Amino acid sequence: MHPLSLIPILIALSTFSLRFIPEAHASNRMNVLFISVDDMNCDLGAYGHPIVKTPNLDRLCRMGVRFDSAYCQQPLCGPSRASLMTGLRPDTLDMHTLDHELRKKNPDVVTLGQLFRQNGYFSARSGKIYHYGNPKMIGTDGNDDPMTWDEKDNPIGIDRSQQEKITRYGAGQEKNTNLGISMAWWDPVSSDSEHTDGMVASRVIDWIHEKKSEPFFLAAGFFNPHCPYVAPKKYFDLYSMDQIQIQDLESARQDLLDVPNMAVQRDTKNWPFYFKDVTIDEARKCKQAYYATISFVDAQVGRLLDTLEENQLLQKTIIVFWSDHGYFLGEKGLWYKRKAFERSARMPLIIAAPGFSQNASSKKPVELLDIYPTLADLCGLDAPADLEGKSLRPLLADPESPHWKKPAVTQIWHSKKAWGYSIRTEKFRYTEWLEGKAGRELYNHLSDSQEIHNLADNPAFEKIVAELSSNLKKYIRLPSHKRN
């Protein structure tokens, strides 16, 4: 046969290869189901809480690894989520507020979903992944990043469209329309599908059915349990008010006596509970409502897991469940986030990865920015070289690996005059305000998990303070224009 006569055959073979080899490769690639919740702390049955019911998160824990010492980079939605989605710290991104400035300040950054898109995955989100003013921005793009997704979905339920029915607490709050910071709740007799988070789950379920034969990165961004605390009444009925306790205010006051002023400067004006004239019984009602929204979100997680199982995708899907930070519910008389305490910096993180540990937990300190390199590693993708987190693969294989030595660092930024950094090791939390000029905190978590006794000025811990301060210095990279 003349060599020229082989050309049509070679072209046909190359076309066949281009068409079918990627598809064969795609069939073996791991999917990612990326589940985000808003303002959720670790008051979960899955984390051992005695009354909060989370049967589906319990189920997810049995499928993978529960991280008991997972921490955010900043306990504020905007910078926390931007950090997670880029694998970079807030100082590196120069993002410390709720402003929509990710691409403005970092035009060339490759986000987590964008990396998956670049590698042939279908990347889509429903609900809140980047910052949204909650509930004000529900139904909009919020501070979304279009380069991250192939498709997006912005549902809006009765929790947003009928918010005039929400009960508000605190002096002068009756007509407050800024429910993003509120002591407020509503328990309508309604179906899950009438609420935004029910709609989020439904859209992601549709995508799972539609895309089950191709690799996907699907993000379910739930808005609960962020205030206002709204869920169908059946979830409120899970919690009797007799079960809901708030710390005695005198002991709460005592807890704050040895804390630097800057640590709680946003909370002291109307202490306790942030708003003026909120009673203990009203705080208890909000805590019940918060727990109700947790169980509501848990039910949506169950729907997602059921759909993966129905489509025989559990063995080829990595599932990540995360919150953007923790949350106070009256401990120390405090409410909300934006504090360097454990209660605010720590949040749930559960990863179920086929072929790795199941029904396991890890006490090693990890960070939200570790998620990006972890997913890239597990899915065989080349991640950007400048990521500041570390793959959690060693801990997924051995949850108490002695080789994991990395601490977790959380920072606070209120203004040029008020900021600080906190480092968490397996044993200690150490915090500096204005690099120590405005105070220090040291808590021994082996004996004081509630962070009641500040040991920073105790001579017996002088060497520990010096060592942790030295370790913390390399993480203090606040841009000069954000310092006084």
| Cα separation, 368 vs 348, whole angstroms | 10
| Cα separation, 260 vs 483, whole angstroms | 19
Choosing from 131, 195, 226, 325, the catalytic residue is 131
Q: Is 445 a catalytic residue?
A: no
Nearest Cα to 97, choosing from 339, 413, 433? 413
The 408-415 sheet, strands edge to edge: 408-415, 418-424, 428-433, 440-444
Alpha helices in 131-248 (DSSP H): 158-161, 196-211, 233-236
Query: Would you call 107 helix, strand, or coil by DSSP?
Result: coil
C-beta separation of 404 from 395 below 8 A: yes
Structure tokens at 78: 């905007």
Spacing of C-alpha 147 from chain mean position? 21
Ordered DSSP codes for 355-411: TS--SEEE-S-EEGGGHHHHHHHHTT----TT--S---HHHHHSTT-TT----EEEE
| Cα separation, 360 vs 61, whole angstroms | 7
Q: Give me the amino acid identity at 161.
A: S
Share in percent of the chain as helix, strand, coil (round to 5)? 40, 20, 45
Compute the residue count for the chain.
Answer: 484
Q: Is 131 a catalytic residue?
A: yes
Instruction: Please report, to the nearest 10 degrees, the dihedral formed by the alpha carbons of residues 11, 14, 19, 23 taken in order.
Output: 170
Choosing from 42, 61, 72, 77, the catalytic residue is 77
Catalytic residue numbers, as ranges: 77, 131
